[in-house]
């Protein structure tokens, strides 16, 4: 008898096993051992979940609720997440190995998405158009789309689910959520809170399983109105192509290779911390990692010395300990991929100043750890400067002046985020205008909020999450015309 924790999926308000009866193991990256059994959902389960979501959208309690009532439910859900934040964070750490300090903070912050969009639910107003046709009254309504397919990655499962679910539900849609196969447990635990908050059955369904089976079945289901996806660029392209074929609405939050640009007029000690937070926080497993550190040549050596000295002090080990600073990598595949990129960088001639190997410190036990790694002398054409590593690997690229910094900053396929370190307001504004990225931070890094739009330029994505406009990504506009004319003109021509 297995002593692994066994989970069930949420479909149509019921907790069920996969139709196949199969489960797969969820691994703890710190111990390298399985700790839970997750249902291996497939096309049949997805079909049941989409049908339940469609039924809840078209009839039943949810479809009859006012926007104000939906807002109340979302705020109740926010309260329940807040009450359960520590337990949910611990589950996420068990699954993705990120620090309890980081996941705890994320889970305590996640309720804000439900409060904010819950508050917004009944403030989406249409307009009366001062229409040019005599004796016609014309107005608009913003209506929900229907069933939303939400697909999330493993790095921040419940926070990123909130970025999708909160606006989607506030707008009146229903949802089928497919979390990453590597971090499904927290989403399933989160499912219980919908019941407690009083959401009607079928409004939110959670189907676990593999991307190639459950994920593909969800994105290609004819009754899905919109796909909202966060993940890697390769999968993103596949999802976009599927959506295009079936003319679904699609929004994508994809990867990044963000420039963190350090000018010689910065406060060096702050910029060093900014560089560290850009790459070693979350073990580099964030889409907004500042993995390309552009440093002005005039301060390059002094800056790099301080950076390496600081990075050397990073405490690795058990992510559940509050003072650990660098935890393991979430999956064994990712661990091997990062080590592969380190070899590529060395082969390309980058100079390894720190790390550059698997971490074998005793405190890392048998977990999947990679040493915080810093490469200097990186040329922007090297693969290590262009491709997303998604691990604790920093590439330092020197530059001469503002013009070159902007050129190098933009000379990459991605455009998710950027950092600028300077004390000059002129430079801060000029460079932030010219950088082609969805988020630009000046003298700070990795700041995100439910209030501020987030998304990618170029290959980093399509659409925006967060902020007031995000709710419009889950709505469509209807134009309603009413004639109050007493006669009907020539019916053979346009009105």
The contact set with ligand NAP (CB under 6 A) reads 151-155, 160, 178-182, 210-212, 215-216, 219, 230-232, 235, 238-239, 253-256, 287, 388, 390, 416, 456, 461
DSSP 199: P
CA dist 243 and 168 (Å) reads 18
DSSP 438: S
CA dist 445 and 439 (Å) reads 10
CA dist 330 and 144 (Å) reads 36
Nearer to ligand NAP, 452 or 477 (CB): 452
From its phi and psi, is residue 427 left (phi > 0), alpha (psi between -120 and 50) or beta? alpha
* Closest CB 253 distance from ligand NAP, rounded Å: 3
Residues taking part in catalysis = 253, 287
* Closest CB 89 distance from ligand NAP, rounded Å: 17
DSSP letter string, 282-332: GGG-STT---EEEEEGGGHHHHHHHHHHHHHTPPBS-TTSTT--B---S-H
* Closest CB 126 distance from ligand NAP, rounded Å: 30
CA dist 473 and 475 (Å) reads 6
Contacts of 67 (CB under 8 A, 6+ apart): 121, 122, 124, 170, 172
Nearer to ligand NAP, 43 or 314 (CB): 43
- What end-to-end distance do the CA atoms of the chain give, in Å? 74
Residue nearest to ligand NAP (CB): 211
* Closest CB 98 distance from ligand NAP, rounded Å: 12
CA separation (Å) from 59 to 52, 53, 130, 200? Answer: 11, 10, 34, 11
Nearer to ligand NAP, 187 or 296 (CB): 187
Nearer to ligand NAP, 238 or 307 (CB): 238
> What angle do the packed helices 425-434 and 402-410 form, to 10 degrees?
30
* Closest CB 495 distance from ligand NAP, rounded Å: 45
* Closest CB 113 distance from ligand NAP, rounded Å: 13
Q: Helix H segments across 142-182?
A: 157-170
């Amino acid at each position: 008898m297995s002593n692994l924790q066994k989970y069930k999926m949420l479909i149509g308000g019921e907790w069920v096993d996969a139709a196949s009866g199969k489960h797969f193991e969820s691994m703890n990256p710190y111990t390298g051992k399985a700790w839970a059994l997750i249902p291996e959902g497939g096309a049949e389960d997805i079909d049941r979940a989409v049908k339940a979501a469609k039924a809840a959208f078209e009839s039943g309690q949810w479809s009859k609720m006012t926007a104000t009532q939906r807002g109340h439910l979302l705020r109740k859900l926010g309260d329940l997440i807040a009450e359960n934040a520590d337990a949910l964070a611990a589950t996420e750490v068990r699954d993705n190995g990120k620090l309890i300090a980081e996941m705890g903070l994320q889970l305590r912050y996640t309720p804000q998405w439900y409060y904010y969009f819950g508050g917004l639910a009944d403030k989406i107003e249409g307009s009366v158009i001062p229409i040019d046709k005599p004796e016609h009254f014309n107005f608009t309504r913003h209506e929900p789309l229907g069933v939303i397919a939400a697909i999330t990655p493993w790095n921040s499962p419940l926070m990123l689910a909130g970025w999708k679910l909160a606006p989607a539900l506030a707008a009146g849609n229903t949802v089928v959520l497919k979390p990453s196969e590597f971090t499904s447990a927290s989403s399933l635990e989160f499912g219980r809170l919908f019941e407690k908050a009083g959401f009607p059955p079928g409004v939110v369904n959670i189907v676990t399983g593999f991307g190639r089976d459950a994920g593909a079945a969800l994105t290609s289901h004819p009754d899905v109105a919109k796909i909202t996806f966060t993940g890697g660029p390769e999968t993103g392209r596949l999802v976009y192509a599927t959506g295009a074929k079936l003319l679904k609405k699609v929004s994508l939050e994809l990867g990044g290779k963000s420039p963190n640009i350090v000018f010689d007029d910065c406060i060096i000690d702050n910029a060093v911390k900014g560089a560290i937070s850009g790459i070693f926080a979350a073990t580099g497993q964030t889409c907004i990692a500042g993995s390309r550190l552009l440093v002005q040549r005039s301060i390059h050596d002094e800056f790099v010395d301080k950076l390496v000295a600081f990075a050397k002090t990073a405490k690795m080990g058990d992510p559940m300990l509050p003072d650990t600073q660098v935890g393991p990598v979430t999956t064994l595949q990712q661990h091997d991929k990062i080590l592969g990129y380190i070899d590529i960088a060395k082969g390309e001639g980058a100079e390894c100043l720190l790390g550059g190997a698997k971490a074998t410190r005793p405190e890392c036990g048998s977990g999947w750890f990679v040493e915080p790694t810093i490469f200097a002398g990186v040329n922007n054409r090297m693969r290590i400067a262009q491709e997303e590593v998604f691990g604790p690997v920093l590439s330092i690229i020197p530059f001469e002046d503002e013009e070159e910094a902007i050129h190098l900053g933009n000379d990459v396929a991605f455009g998710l985020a950027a950092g600028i370190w300077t004390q000059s307001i002129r430079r801060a504004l000029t460079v932030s205008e010219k950088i082609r990225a969805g988020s630009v931070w000046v003298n700070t890094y990795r700041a995100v909020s439910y209030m501020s739009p987030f998304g990618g330029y170029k290959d980093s994505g399509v659409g925006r999450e967060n902020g007031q406009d995000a709710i419009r990504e889950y709505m469509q506009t209807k134009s309603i015309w009413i004639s109050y004319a007493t006669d009907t003109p020539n019916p053979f021509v346009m009105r």
